[in-house]
Structure 1
Amino acid sequence: MNEKIFIHQKGKEREVDIKTAIFDCGKELFSAKGFKKTNIKEIAEKAGIGVGTFYNYYASKEQLFIEIYKKENEKLKHRLIETLDLRQEPVQLVGRLLRENQEAIQANPILKEWYNRDFYKELEKHYRDEDGRSMDSVREFFLDLLRSWKRQGLLRDDIDEELLPVFFDSLVCIDMHKEEIGIEHFPKVMQYLIEFIINGLTKPKHQQ
C-alpha cells in the first residue's frame, strides 16, 4: 500500500498518498511558475519527499506534467459539454463552445502550456503516441452532434455521413502543426477553420 504523508495546501494540512502529494504539489507549482521554471527538486521539497522518491513514481518532470495536463483538459472538456445548450443552432453552438474553450485555456496556466514553445512538442508527441485516445470523449461528442444534425436535416444532403469523422480528425492533424502556422496566430486560425467547416456543413436556413 502507498505510504501516506502530510502536505500543506491552501493553508490546510492534508494526509495523502505519495503519488497524490507529488501530483498536487506539481500542479500547484506548475500553475504558479510554469513548466519551464519548475524543477523536480522543488516539487519533491513541497511534497516533503526526496528527489529519489519522486523518481519512484514519475520518470521525469515531463511525465508528471502530461498527467496533470490530461486531467485538466478532460475536466475542461466535460464541463464545457455539460453546459452546452443543444437546442442552439449548429453555428451558434459551436461558436459558443469555441469562445468558452479559448477563455478557459487562457485562464488556466496548465492548459496554456499547449501554446508554449518550450513544451508543446512533448504534449503533441504524447497525443500522437496515444493515437488520439485521450480525445475520444470530445470526438464522440462532436460526431454524435453532427449525426443528430444530419438526421434533423440541418446538414447538407450531399455530405456523406462517413465523412463526418474525417472533418474532426483533419482538425486534429492541423492542431499538430501549430508551429508551421505560427503559434501566435494558431488559436484564432483554428477558431475560424472550425466555424468555416460548420458553416460549410450546414444548410442555409431557407433550406432547413
Structure 2
Amino acid sequence: MEEKQALLYKAAKTLFSKGGFKSTSVAQIAKEAGLAVGTFYLYYPSKEKLFLDIFLEENAALKQKCQAQLDVTQEPKEVIAHMLACNSEGMRSSPILREWYNRKVFAKLEQVYRLEHGSEAVHFLYDTFVELVGRWQAAGKIRNDIDAATIMLVFTAIINIDVHKEEIGVEHFPRLLDTITSLVMDGLIQEGRHA
C-alpha cells in the first residue's frame, strides 16, 4: 500500500470507528489524513469501497482470532456454539463490524462487494468449517444425508439472524439465537447418530 493510501486507510478506520460509516465523510477522511479530497479519489472510488476494505480486513482478523481459539477435538455442538459466540461477540465489540447490523449501510456495502466479487459470498470461516463438517460426517458425528455446503449455509443463516434482531425483539434475541442453534445442532447430531 502506498504511503498516501495507507494514511487514508488509517484515517478512515479511526473515523469510522468513532463516528460510524454514515457520519464520516470523504472530506473528513482526507483532512484526518492530511491530504486533499482529490487525493482520496486517486486511491478509492468511493467511501463505500474504502469502508468495505476496512470491514473485510476486520472480519478476516475476527475469523483468525476465532480460529485460533478453536478446539476441534470437542464435540460438534460445543465447537459450533463457541464459533457462533466468538463471531457474535467480535461483531458487537468492533465499531466497524457493528455496521453489519445497520441495514441501510450494509445494503450499500453489499452492492459494492457484489460489483467487485460477483455472487461469491463472504462466509465465516467457510474453508475451515466445510472441511470440519466433512470430517464429522465421515466419523458419524453429524448426519451425512445433507451435503457439507448446505450445512454451512444453515450456519451462515444462523449468523445472519443478527441482522433482524430489532424485528425479532432485542430482549428475546439471545435466547432465540441459542434455541435455534441448539435445535439445528441437535437435529444434525441425532440424525447423524442414526444414519
- Equivalent-residue separation in structure 2 for 1:40 and 1:183 (angstroms): 35
Query: Secondary structure in 2 aligned to 1:160?
Result: coil
Structure 2 unaligned segments of length 5 or more: list them. Answer: none
Would you say the 8 A contact 1:124–1:176 is kept in 2?
Answer: no
- Equivalent-residue separation in structure 2 for 1:76 and 1:202 (angstroms): 27
Q: What RMSD in Å do the two structures reach over aligned CA positions?
A: 3.1
Structure 1 unaligned segments of length 5 or more: list them. Answer: 3-16
Question: Residue 108 in 1 paired to residue 83 in 2?
Answer: no
What is the aligned length?
190
Give TM-score scaled by structure 1 length: 0.77
Deviation at 1:184, TM superposition (A): 5.5
2:142 partner amino acid: L
Q: Deviations over 1:82-127 (max 9, x none)?
A: 2111111111111111112111111100000000133011233345
| Structure number having the greater helix percentage | 2
Deviation at 1:180, TM superposition (A): 10
Evaluate the alpha carbon distance shift between residue 122 and residue 111 of structure 1 in structure 2; reply closer, same or farther with a 3 A threshold: same
Deviation at 1:202, TM superposition (A): 1.0
The structure with more radius of gyration: 1
Question: Residue 165 in 1 paired to residue 149 in 2?
Answer: yes
Question: Residue 90 in 1 paired to residue 90 in 2?
Answer: no
Evaluate the alpha carbon distance shift between residue 150 and residue 172 of structure 1 in structure 2; reply closer, same or farther with a 3 A threshold: closer
Deviation at 1:198, TM superposition (A): 2.2
2:95 partner amino acid: P
Relative contact order, higher structure (CA 8 A, sep 6+) = 2
Evaluate the alpha carbon distance shift between residue 128 and residue 55 of structure 1 in structure 2; reply closer, same or farther with a 3 A threshold: closer
Residue 127 (structure 2) aligned to one of 140, 145, 149: 140
Q: Deviations over 1:100-158 (max 9, x none)?
A: 211111110000000013301123334545323543x71121111111111222113xx
Residue 19 (structure 2) aligned to one of 29, 33, 53: 33
Deviation at 1:178, TM superposition (A): 4.2
Evaluate the alpha carbon distance shift between residue 206 and residue 194 of structure 1 in structure 2; reply closer, same or farther with a 3 A threshold: closer
Would you say the 8 A contact 2:100–2:163 is kept in 1?
Answer: no
2:71 partner amino acid: D
| Structure number having the greater strand percentage | 1
Would you say the 8 A contact 2:16–2:24 is kept in 1?
Answer: yes
* Alignment correspondent of 1:182: 167
Deviation at 1:172, TM superposition (A): 4.2
Deviation at 1:183, TM superposition (A): 7.3
Question: Residue 55 in 1 paired to residue 41 in 2?
Answer: yes
